[in-house]
Structure 1
């Protein structure tokens, strides 16, 4: 599950392209299939979205929630890939992008009527 926050006037026009870029990076770096896209966009009013100095109104926060198991090097490759590809596709400078990976144990995930540690038919590997 990926949650993306930004100022609505900047985020709304690019949602579809940003989703494509994020999913492409998730596929390349984590091996996640295209049909596992789970993106939630939270467009915010400018007065409700505080961000650090030195950033523009393009400032975008990307929270990536995933089951634990990916190596540190894999996670870093994902973050760096997102910085590069978002800038290339959408012109958003890396200084205006914040990426947070939140890992939870598999038993903390629930989908298709079971917990993540019970599932045996994932079409991708978690330990990459």
Structure 2
């Protein structure tokens, strides 16, 4: 699951494209299936979104929650791919993108009426 925060007028203008870019990164780097898009966009009024100096109003925060198991190399590749694709496809400079990956063991996930450790997934987690 991905949650994206940004200033409302910037985020709303690009969220459909942003979702496509993020999903492409997730399918390419992590091998997620095409139907596993789970994105949430949180557009904030500029008065409710404080960000570090040296950033523009395009500043975007991306939080990625996933079942633990991916290698450090894979997670770093995902982060770098997002930076590259945001700059190339959305004209958002890497200095304006902050990415955090949150991992939880599979037993801490619940979906389809079961816990993640009980689920049979159509993709590999240990990549």
User: TM-score band (shorter)?
Assistant: over 0.9
Other-structure match for 2:29: 29
> CA–CA distance in 2 between the matches of 1:3 and 1:98?
12
1:82, distance to aligned residue in structure 2 (A): 0.2
Match in the other structure for 2:124: 125
- Partner of 1:34, secondary structure, is coil
| Aligned residue in 2 for 1:67 | 67
TM-score, normalisation: structure 2: 0.99
Deviations 1:28-68 (A, max 9, x none): 10000110000000000000001100000000000000000
Q: TM-score, normalised by structure 1?
A: 0.98
User: Number of matched residues?
Assistant: 127
CA distance in 2, matches of 1:48, 1:108: 31
Looking at structure 2, the residues matched to 33 and 83 of structure 1 have their Cα atoms a distance apart, in angstroms, of 21
Which residue number corresponds to residue 44 of structure 2? 44
Alpha-carbon distance between aligned partners in 1 of 2:33 and 2:73, rounded to the nearest angstrom: 20
In the alignment, which residue of structure 2 is the partner of 1:97?
97
**Once the 2 structures are TM-superposed, how far is the Cα of residue 74 of structure 1 from its aligned partner?**
0.1
Structural RMSD (CA): 0.4
What residue in structure 1 maps to residue 80 of structure 2? Answer: 80
User: Mind listing any 5+ residue stretches in structure 2 that lack a counterpart?
Assistant: none
The runs of at least 4 aligned residues of structure 1 exceeding 2 Å deviation read none
The 2-side partners of 1:105 and 1:91 are apart by 35
Q: Which runs of 5+ in 1 are unaligned?
A: none
Asked whether 1:13 is paired with 2:13, we answer: yes
